[in-house]
Amino acid sequence: MKTLHLPSLVVAALLLGACGTGNTHSPAHGDHAKHVHEAATRTQAAADPIAPVFDAYFRLKDALVAADSVQAPKLAVALDGTFHSMDRNALTAEQQAAWDMLMDTLMTALHPFYVATELEQQRTLFAQLTPGMLQLAKLTALDAPVYLMHCPMYHGGADWLSRERAVRNPFYGAAMMTCGSVKEVIGV
């Protein structure tokens, strides 16, 4: 028979108790993780209310880079949610005016994503979305540079925004991953 040491039992009990039953997939743990993520998002949104919009845009861009036509519409819905949940009152007067002016344009490109199943259609809509996002980027106090990228081959030339300087083309994905160049650096 093995002998268990009291300190080992105490440590095990504390570790199991810290997350309820020790099951990291329990509802209580999931709720805690969700609340921590939501609190971090609220803190970020308070510092820059437009930041969550850009986060959602970049996730959509990354799905298109990966040619994930299933995930892209879901991420477009999430981006739309960030547009509609953003606190306009936290914006400057200049940002509010631009926001109001751009919303129709942005929604015109974004809403068809919900039903777009073909990757090419999604990429075309993304190209239409980017000019409005560029205008928002220029009005925002960015905490890191955003790169305006340009692909000369896609529909006679198309732009996208990226957090990385390295070209990862959302219009051609793996077929022409590095087609494009940095057109402008926005922010910092």
pLDDT by residue (tens digit) across 48-63?
888 999 999 999 999 9
Task: Give me the domain span that covers residue 40.
Answer: 19-48
Q: Where are the alpha helices (DSSP H) in the chain?
A: 6-18, 27-47, 51-65, 71-85, 93-110, 119-139
Q: How many domains does the chain have?
A: 2
| 164 token code pair | 């990385």
**In this structure, are 28 and 80 located in the same domain?**
no
Does residue 101 belong to any structural domain of this protein? yes
Does residue 175 belong to any structural domain of this protein? yes
Does residue 3 belong to any structural domain of this protein? no
**In this structure, are 42 and 60 located in the same domain?**
no
Whole-angstrom Cα distance, residue 161 to residue 53?
A: 12
**In this structure, are 24 and 116 located in the same domain?**
no
DSSP 55: H
Does residue 6 belong to any structural domain of this protein? no
Does residue 41 belong to any structural domain of this protein? yes
Whole-angstrom Cα distance, residue 118 to residue 126?
A: 12
**In this structure, are 80 and 158 located in the same domain?**
yes
**In this structure, are 111 and 69 located in the same domain?**
yes
Give the residue, 178 or 18, on which the prediction is more confident: 178
**In this structure, are 53 and 81 located in the same domain?**
yes
**In this structure, are 85 and 44 located in the same domain?**
no
Give the residue, 92 or 146, on which the prediction is more confident: 146
**In this structure, are 108 and 167 located in the same domain?**
yes
Does residue 1 belong to any structural domain of this protein? no
**In this structure, are 39 and 67 located in the same domain?**
no
Instruction: Determine if residue 173 is left, alpha or beta; phi over 0 gives left, psi from -120 to 50 gives alpha, anything else beta.
Output: left
Confidence of residue 88 (pLDDT cuts 50, 70, 90): confident
**In this structure, are 25 and 102 located in the same domain?**
no
Does residue 123 belong to any structural domain of this protein? yes
Predicted TM-score (pTM) of this structure: 0.74
**In this structure, are 142 and 104 located in the same domain?**
yes
Q: Which residues contact 135 (CB under 8 A, 6 or more apart)?
A: 98, 102
Per-residue pLDDT of 91-104, as tens digits, reads 889 888 888 899 98
Domain boundary among the residues 11, 27, 48 is at: 48
Does residue 91 belong to any structural domain of this protein? yes
Per-residue pLDDT of 148-163, as tens digits, reads 999 999 999 999 999 9
**In this structure, are 102 and 179 located in the same domain?**
yes
Q: Which residues contact 161 (CB under 8 A, 6 or more apart)?
A: 54, 57, 58, 61, 130, 133, 134, 137, 146, 147, 148, 149, 186
